[in-house]
Amino acid sequence: MVVLDVHKIEQKYQAVNGEITALKEINFSVEKGEFISIVGPSGCGKSTLLSIIAGLLKQTSGEIFVNGEKIEGISAHIGYMLQKDNLLEWRTIYRNVIFGLEIQNNLTPENLQRVIQLLKTYELYDFKDKYPSQLSGGMRQRVALIRTLAINPDILLLDEAFSALDYQTRLTVTNDVYRILKQEQVTTLMVTHDIPEGISMGDKVVILSSRPAIVKEIIPIDFEIENRTPLNCRKSPKFSKYFDHIWKELASDE
């Protein structure tokens, strides 16, 4: 079932020295539960695309459909996670995690029960009364993810969500996040400049061209590994084949 359909998205910006076309004609769709990684040269329009899907930016033309319905503006169907975890330092972990539900005026007993369940399943329940400053970077990122999942979004957008973490933490966090997203069957779109990260997490990698960005190629990723995790993908002989292919595609664009 198609959850997200990006249809002929074009984005132009007015800059001082004229008009810039960031996105030219972007088309792709995402199936329920799929994890899509988007890579492309720096400045090609990856963040622009996510902002449009999140409803934070109005596209010049084209349409976004979620579950077959055209969406305009900010939608409760979409969760968005950025590089900074944006946790509120003066709130406890529990009160951070329910923050999205609070804003949506949706603190129902069922939703609160789900939050407790998420905290328990993903080893954060014992920290629920602590403050963000008392947690490690990796745990904070997990809290930010659970806060986003608490609103039960149909699609999760990740914009370079792990790039503020040091390399070691980043590997662990991507493994944890991947496990959570697959277990909860969350449909995810992740923008990253890190090709290995894109390959190790993605069911598909969408390669965007340099500006004005078009979809250059969509590569299905299949490691044929049972119990796939980002870490065990990195050890597969297929990993470097995918890497070389994507690297060449991106290099041919510079």
**What is the distance between the alpha carbons of residues 56 and 8, in angstroms, rounded to a whole number?**
18
Q: By three-state DSSP, how is residue 195 classified?
A: helix
Closest among 24, 64, 51, 7 to 213, alpha carbons compared? 24
Nearer Cβ to ligand ADP (42/168): 42
**Segment (H or E) for 8:** strand 2-15
Q: Which stretch binds ligand ADP (CB under 6 A): 37-45, 68-76, 172-180, 235-243?
A: 37-45
**Least distance to ligand ADP, CB of residue 75, Å:** 20
Binding map of ligand ADP across residues 155-184, x = CB under 6 A, - = no contact: ------------------------------
| Phi, psi dihedrals of residue 13, rounded to the nearest 5° | -115, 145
Query: Looking at 22, 30, 39, 124, which residue binds ligand ADP (CB under 6 A)?
Result: 22
**Least distance to ligand ADP, CB of residue 195, Å:** 14
Residue 128: alpha-carbon gap to chain centroid: 24
Q: Any bridge partners for residue 12, and if so which?
A: 21
Binding map of ligand ADP across residues 182-221, x = CB under 6 A, - = no contact: -----------------------------x----------
**What is the distance between the alpha carbons of residues 203 and 243, in angstroms, rounded to a whole number?**
14
What single letter denotes the amino acid at residue 47?
A: S
Nearer Cβ to ligand ADP (47/67): 47
**Least distance to ligand ADP, CB of residue 148, Å:** 20
**DSSP assignment string, 59-84:** -SEEEEEETTEE--S--TTEEEE-SS
Q: What is the Cα Rg of the chain in Å?
A: 18
Cβ-based neighbour number of residue 76 at 10 Å: 12
Binding map of ligand ADP across residues 43-72, x = CB under 6 A, - = no contact: xxxxxx------------------------
Q: Which stretch binds ligand ADP (CB under 6 A): 38-46, 109-117, 140-148, 180-188?
A: 38-46
Nearer Cβ to ligand ADP (20/82): 20
**Least distance to ligand ADP, CB of residue 18, Å:** 11
Nearer Cβ to ligand ADP (48/174): 48
- Tokens 């132009």 correspond to 12
Both tokens of residue 249?
Answer: 């595609």
Binding site residues, ligand ADP, CB under 6 A: 13, 15, 20, 22, 40, 42-48, 211
